Structure 1
Amino acid sequence: MQAIRRRIQLKITDLEYYPAAAGLLRIVTDDEPDGVCFGVGRDAANAIDAHFRATLIGADPLNRERLWQEGMRLDRYKYLAHGVRGLVDVALWDLAGKAAGLPVYRLAGGYRDRLPCYMSGHHHDDLQAYVDEALRARAEGFAGYKDHCHLGADGMAQVARACRAAVGDDFHLMHDAVAQYILIDALRLGRVLDETKYYWFEEPLKDCDIAGLKQLCDALDLPIAATEYLPGTIHATAQVLAQGAADIVRASVPWRGGITDMLKIARLAESFDVACEITSVGGSFGFVHAQVIGALRNCTFFEGWKTGSLGGEPYITNPIHIVDGHVRVPQGPGLGLDLDWDAIRKAA
């Protein structure tokens, strides 16, 4: 009992940065557990030191909610560099998992340890390239294929019909418009996506166009996915949900904040019986998003780009792999990262 008591009474003593090692941040404590997060560039590190270090040093890292609230205040008053608050939050969750001896997804509740993936494709100028990409996604065991077609509403309508004809009716297709349409074009294309049984229509309009998004939700059968680029974390997402302006909300690290933000957004969406689909492979080479999705009932997929390793070598010795269209949630404590500190320090 004494060993457990000693481990849960922690104090942050230092912050270390390894910018040449994929931007690794390490939160050091006065006991064994530390917390890490990749993706902390020099600007983010400078912002953390200038505005967040004084709050963190001496604080109990297990008080993540208190530190999240302080990060929200600093975000507004100090105009923190983008992603700073979320990256610190990730490292705090990693540390908490290590202190508890649990992976983050179990610390957050635990729902599943194997995640189906869809393939997130690229923009192409040639229609056949989308068809080929969709067919490859199906052949490699992915549960679906999402395009990022920028050929306009008429061009995308052709892509939708061609992809559906190629892959058949029992394979998920999604279109990510990256906010390229005006309302009338989104409505026109949306009817084609309805006809071709697309699984969702993502970011058809700017996330701030709540009135337009609500019109799309009301007019179309397929789900409208929004809020990926929306600032304001849970507070802005709440307004979109309250107005019925999204059938699916999106969240990610570090754009929408940290793990705390994603869990808050997902639980908020669940209270509306709305899915929260986590965006992209995400920070720390997929480890963050895999852990979060493992804790959620209302997220269907992990978003990947290809089979095989999601990267991080040589600093990560146990990279996540997409195999047969699925990702296994890492089972080690915290994020589940096994790090090669010799390689990290050598890079630094």
Structure 2
Amino acid sequence: MTVLELARTPAGWFGRTRTKTAKGSTARMTTSAALVIGTTALLLGGGLIMILSSSWVSAYEAGASPFTYFMRQLMWSFVGIACLIQPSELAKLALVLVGADICVRKGRRLWTIKDVVVPYGIIAGVVGLLVMIQPDMGTTLILAGIAFTVLFVAGSRISVLGGLGVAGIGASVMLSMSKAYRRARLFSFTNPFKDPLNTGYQAVQSQIALGSGGLFGVGLGAGRQKWLYVPNAHTDFIFSIIGEEVGLLGTFAVIALFALLAYAGVRIARRAPDKFGRIVAGAVTAWIVGQAVINMGAVTGLLPITGVPLPLVSFGGSSLVFTLTAIGILINIGRQEEWPPKRETAPVSAPAKKAPTRRAPARSRTVR
């Protein structure tokens, strides 16, 4: 089933969430769904334009057509079928759906570490370990964020989530210090200009691109940093090329679109017809917006560089396919939203009827 079919089907992945609206229809185009569709279309269109602008130099140097990356991204956008799928991208969507199903089955039994760890914590840990072996620490952090969001939306205790958060931060620090190149990235994050030609090269060139754009940019296609100065200009660092060619206003527009997508996703999660849809909508929103925050934070120097692409904007086939699949599911949940949301309460049994009491016959009095 393609993304378009998911968005067009009334029930889609959530056949059991079919609910009738006040007018008697099972699904409709709501404001939340329209917001998701609009922001996705704008990010996709802007991403295609920036991929064409930022990648033609690399394609030309490799002896290929300047439109190579643009046409490949356009094909992935319309076809939506991956020939070479990255398992880590599939793991993100699988972790959302499996986690939502497990949490719904457990119900209110998510109050202890044992209930959280078995089995969802084990599944998330194994998936994260396999992705870490690739090695891909950036995707591992996103997977951890997805699992945390699933448990948070499902209603786990704050104490349990706090313990898991502390453990996750500790594990991230240990993994960051486990390899020499990771330690170099972490240390160069604090002062990339200390070694601008080696460990801090990516961060320095990215900030040069952002700074040279000014308020309105140097013009679409006229950027200089994509001429092999900024590495991966059409993937991980496309946001810096946006800042150089479209300026500060262009970067603010991208941030505003992701903020609008976050608002629409939270709105859909709040109005979802059942717990399963609420968890999936919240996790998908956290996945896409969180990945965007990590990417833009790394490009601007606010976060360490992790090699995570900008969703819907950066070049990447399998990443785009699974992101669009998740957005299709989010749109489908938004078409079934209810407001005000129903409260999940235990069924109340009807009060037992009291048996009618029979009065004793009155004794007759004799008059003397």
TM range (shorter): under 0.3
Higher helix share: 2
- Which structure has more relative contact order (CA 8 Å, sep 6+)? It is 2
TM-score of the aligned structures, taking structure 1 as reference length: 0.25
Higher strand share: 1
Bigger radius of gyration among the two: 2
